Structure 1
Amino acid sequence: MMDRPLTDVVVIGSANRDYLIRVEAIPAAGETVLARSLTNSCGGKGANQAVAASRLGARVSFVGCVGDDADGALLLREMRSEGVDVADVEVLHESTTGRAFVSVDDAGENCIAVVSGANAKVNAAKVRRVVERSDPQSIVVLQGEIPADTVAEAVRSAQPRRVIVNLAPVIALPDDVIAAADPLVLNEQEAATLSGVPVHDAESALEAAAALSPAPTSVVITIGAGGAVWSAEGTSGHEPVRTPVAAIDTTGAGDAFVGALAASLSHGNGLADAVGFGVRAGSYAVSRPGAQASYAYYSDLVPDLV
């Protein structure tokens, strides 16, 4: 599956220091609970997706911002150790590195609060320059944890490169930016927010994909244990989880999916195959704790290929 010539993957997005809190149940509003543990790890949707793609054989560069602090230095060291090119990461002397506070319950579900820090200063003009000098065959990957105007500038300057827009969290983007996404990647909640169609299974996910307006070039909607659906050029499909796993921690699983999707596309695979590969990578990640630490290498997923 991964024996074709590589295309570069340029990930533009966030880098955070994650603070992971393990609890029996996510607290309700006004409720205080006792946590079992607190651990630190490397995260941020952009950095996560870059590491996930690199571990799966893609040639990856990351574009973003960190603060001039210990957290930022650690994130850069870790991405370098994962084979990610960080030459275009800007270190901001008057900002702190982004931080994410993640609570994970006994069912593996999570809730996350992010303090953007330096991520809020990823500059549209710089991103445009980086994208324009990248290989015209590159795949550009974006998320919603950096300013909307930067995402829009990146998408517009990326043409004719293929652009994956993972709209997580959902931010307001111009119609032409959404229309250029190939694919637009959403989870159930994000798809419901944008389409107005409640998503709870593959059938309703495909209904939501068809209801998106403006319509992206292609769309992928992840549905947790149900796998993911895709729609492009009048065709659509469902890629289920082939080997069910017990979820330990869902933190960063969506990023594992997007990174694997980008890696597969970078090797010349079609969207359906890439979505299937992403589902396998996401399933692998939820069976292990943490975000980047839980991500598969290609050798981890090869035995599962059918």
Structure 2
Amino acid sequence: MVRIVVVGSINMDLVTVAPRFPGAGETLLGERFLTVPGGKGANQSVAAARLGAEVALVGAVGNDAFGAGLLRGLAHEGIDLAHVATLDDSGSGTASITVAEGDNRIIVVPAANARVTPARVEAARACIARADAVLVQMEIPRESVEATVRLGHRLDVPVILNPAPAQPLPREWLALASYLTPNQHELATVLDGDADDDFRALMERAPCPVVLTRGGEGAWYRVHGQAQHQPGFPVSVVDTTGAGDTFNGALAVYLHEGLEQAVRKACAAAALSVTRLGAQGGMPTSHELGAFLTARQA
């Protein structure tokens, strides 16, 4: 069984479904409201676990109703929570999400996620050393992301850095990441460049290998210096929330099969995820993914 460690955020998503996005100062009647587990760390953990990996999560929640519910859900997915702290002096992270017009807009309040420190990463050293791959994102403090990348590099464990939400990152430790998995806007931000630049040129500027996601178009990556394109899989879109996290979780799970196969399966898993509502609700199982790919080959 593939072993994955995820270092990242755990949130409760507060989701409002509306016919359209409201304008500034406008009050709009919504169609539906629900609370669903989220956070990029938790999402990527669930994505990997549903695809058959043994997953351990490094993170933190508050000692509140949201935190208790989040931990129950993660435990139900079979995720190892030994390195998830429950904090008495902080609330759990939240993400307020509006879904409309086949897209989403999100505001994240980190709360306990801001307490996922380098010390908590170091405390998980033994767990990370046994992993086949490590996933980390930018919804925890930047110094903790750096600590994760550096630790993975020292332990010779592949680290996939998903730079979202995007911010400029130092090339010195960015170069230690095994793979960077941004969209075009995120890649430009990380490199302190221009989002209007050709994405292939941006990929060449990165100090580490890049797997660039481009929504329904699929993904681009480099093999032996040549840019390769994995086309997307056409589906009926219901909710794009969590598609990137599904992509990253799948990429980590299938990385041992080679980058080409991993990117293909990650694109397929992400396509499946947008056909259902909710970040984690649409994440496919390995059986669903296999059936989806088999049907596309028929």
Q: CA deviation at 1:233?
A: 4.4
Counterpart position of 2:215 = 224
Counterpart position of 1:110 = 104
Letter in 1 for 2:195: P
Candidates 234, 237, 242, aligned match of 1:252: 242
Letter in 2 for 1:198: A
Letter in 2 for 1:155: V
Percent of aligned pairs sharing the same letter: 41
Q: CA deviation at 1:83?
A: 1.1
Runs of 4+ residues deviating >6 angstroms: none
User: Pairwise mapping of residues 125-274 of structure 1 onto structure 2 (< 5 A)?
Assistant: 125-159=119-153, 160-195=156-191, 196-198=193-195, 204-212=198-206, 215-216=207-208, 218-242=209-233, 244-265=234-255, 268-274=256-262
Q: CA deviation at 1:36?
A: 1.4
Aligned-partner SS, 2:181: strand
Matched, 1:52 2:43: no
Instruction: Check the 8 A contact 1:11/1:62 in 2, yes or no.
Output: yes
Q: Closer, same or farther in 2 for the Cα pair 1:29/1:207, shift >3 Å?
A: farther
Q: CA deviation at 1:108?
A: 1.7
Per-residue Cα deviation, 1:232-258 (whole angstroms, up to 9, x for no partner): 54233111123x111110011110110
In 2: Cα distance, 1:233 partner to 1:173 partner: 25
Counterpart position of 1:18 = 13
Letter in 1 for 2:243: A
Counterpart position of 1:3 = none
Report which stretch shifted further, 59-68 or 224-233: 224-233
In 2: Cα distance, 1:104 partner to 1:240 partner: 25
In 1: Cα distance, 2:88 partner to 2:195 partner: 44
Per-residue Cα deviation, 1:187-222 (whole angstroms, up to 9, x for no partner): 13212323535369xxx432321133xx11x11111
Counterpart position of 1:304 = 292
Q: CA deviation at 1:154?
A: 1.2
Aligned-partner SS, 1:294: coil
Q: CA deviation at 1:183?
A: 0.9
Q: CA deviation at 1:86?
A: 0.7
In 2: Cα distance, 1:38 partner to 1:184 partner: 34
Q: How many residues align?
A: 291
Letter in 1 for 2:56: S
In 2: Cα distance, 1:168 partner to 1:52 partner: 17
Letter in 2 for 1:228: A
Q: Closer, same or farther in 2 for the Cα pair 1:58/1:233, shift >3 Å?
A: same
Q: CA deviation at 1:287?
A: 0.8
Instruction: Check the 8 A contact 2:4/2:131 in 1, yes or no.
Output: no
In 1: Cα distance, 2:178 partner to 2:194 partner: 21
Report which stretch shifted further, 189-198 or 13-22: 189-198
Instruction: Check the 8 A contact 1:206/1:231 in 2, yes or no.
Output: no
Instruction: Check the 8 A contact 2:167/2:189 in 1, yes or no.
Output: no
Counterpart position of 1:43 = 38
Instruction: Check the 8 A contact 1:11/1:140 in 2, yes or no.
Output: yes
Question: Structure 1: 5+ residue runs without aligned partners?
Answer: 1-5
Question: Structure 2: 5+ residue runs without aligned partners?
Answer: none
Root mean square deviation, CA, Å? 1.7
Instruction: Check the 8 A contact 1:55/1:82 in 2, yes or no.
Output: yes
Letter in 2 for 1:8: R
Letter in 1 for 2:272: Y
Aligned-partner SS, 1:71: helix
Per-residue Cα deviation, 1:250-282 (whole angstroms, up to 9, x for no partner): 0111101101111112xx211111111110011
- What TM-score does the superposition give when structure 1 sets the normalisation length? 0.90
Counterpart position of 1:293 = 281
In 2: Cα distance, 1:220 partner to 1:210 partner: 11
Report which stretch shifted further, 24-33 or 48-57: 24-33
Counterpart position of 1:74 = 69
Letter in 2 for 1:192: A
In 1: Cα distance, 2:216 partner to 2:92 partner: 33
Letter in 1 for 2:226: T
